[in-house]
Amino acid sequence: MRYAGPIPHRVVRPFNQCVLALRSSPRWGRPLRRHLTVVTYTGRRSGREFSTPVAYRLSGSTVTVPVAIPERKKWWRNFTGEGGPLSLELPEGVRTGHAVASTDQRGRVTVTVRLDD
């Protein structure tokens, strides 16, 4: 039977800490920061602030975040419907924006962020 729930925190936290350490390292940080950012947002139900590393693509003032294995992750659900505010650590600094999550016909989830000016 296939596990369809979220990935356990005992796995996610150490992995994210490792990614964040590599992203801030002198040797690996620069190339990783071109492809990985840290998304910081406030949970809709809890009201708590969360940060998570994600892959991204930047095109002008739009950031696209493809969500890998979306059925096992919860963070992107904060941006369904009307979406919500978040901040991203981009090479030029921390930027804020409005994110909206969308699901295509094949079940792939993409979070699209319109950066504030």
DSSP labels, 11-61: HHHHHHHHHHHHHTSTTTHHHHHTTEEEEEEE-TTT--EEEEEEE-EEETT
Number of helices and strands (H, E) in the chain?
Answer: 2, 7
Q: What is the pLDDT, as a whole number, of residue 89? A: 92
- Give me the average pLDDT of each 10-residue run along the chain (117 residues): 62 71 72 84 93 93 94 92 96 95 96 95
Q: How open is the CA angle 17-53-82, to the nearest 5 degrees?
A: 140
Q: What is the pLDDT, as a whole number, of residue 5? A: 62
Query: What's the pTM?
Result: 0.80
Q: What is the pLDDT, as a whole number, of residue 3? A: 53
Distance between CA atoms of residues 68 and 110, nearest Å: 9
Distance between CA atoms of residues 73 and 109, nearest Å: 11
